[in-house]
Chain A
């Protein structure tokens, strides 16, 4: 078990709605990354936050946005949901220095868009 938690566990939304997913990082970790994992595929990087600033972004449209808070917890917001947004969303945290870029994952949030 890592110290990374995510909420909610499952979520069902309809197309066009907005959703917010939450992540609490492991103690001592100041960097949080979000990944999208479609069924049967490897995770795809969405973006990363370091000390409340976005410092890396994958090939995702602007309707995917995020925040990191002073306690290093993070949110992922998705606007104007599309059917293809249905996926497992994984949050990972790591220490900003040292630990050799090792990321520790939370249990994920399963999002279903109808």
Chain B
């Protein structure tokens, strides 16, 4: 069964610094996608970044990048130059392909960016 685990319930970082959020997963699939979503207090779930498993290169979107370790089944999110607007819950998610691509979410990491 596919599972997604985020082991850091809460994290904090000073504005302008870098923070890394961890995610591990378990799957028997060989090719798949992984996603990071952000959910600010406004509740809207926003796609931050996605990674395709067969690509060697780690995905990058502006200040957000991933460290994807396929063999270790690890998918961490690095936020550089943290901004106050980055304060949110962050969820790692994996699509369950045998069930139409439903997303399985981790438990979430609550990130606070402090001025």
Interface residues of A (CB under 8 A from B): 2, 31, 33, 35, 40-45, 48, 50, 55-56, 58, 88, 90, 92, 94, 100-108, 110
Contact = CB atoms under 8 A, between A and B. Distances in A.
Interface string B73-115: 0000000000000000001000101011111111110000000
Given A2-B46, A45-B99, 17 more contacts: A2-B44, A31-B101, A33-B102, A42-B106, A43-B45, A45-B103, A48-B100, A92-B103, A100-B50, A101-B95, A101-B97, A102-B50, A103-B95, A103-B103, A107-B42, A107-B43, A110-B43
B47 interface: yes
Contacts of B91: 42-43
Majority SS at the chain A contact face: strand
A50 B103 CA distance: 15
A58 B102 contact: yes
A50 B100 contact: yes
Contacts of A106: 44
29 contacts: A2-B44, A31-B101, A35-B103, A42-B91, A42-B108, A43-B45, A43-B103, A44-B105, A45-B102, A45-B103, A45-B104, A48-B99, A48-B100, A55-B100, A56-B99, A58-B102, A92-B103, A100-B50, A101-B101, A102-B33, A102-B35, A105-B37, A105-B45, A105-B46, A106-B44, A107-B42, A107-B43, A108-B45, A110-B43
Contacts of B106: 42
A108 B33 CA distance: 24
Given A31-B100, A41-B108, A42-B91, A100 B43 contact: no
Interface residues of B, number: 24
Contacts of B26: none
Contact of A100 (B44, B45, B46, B52): B52
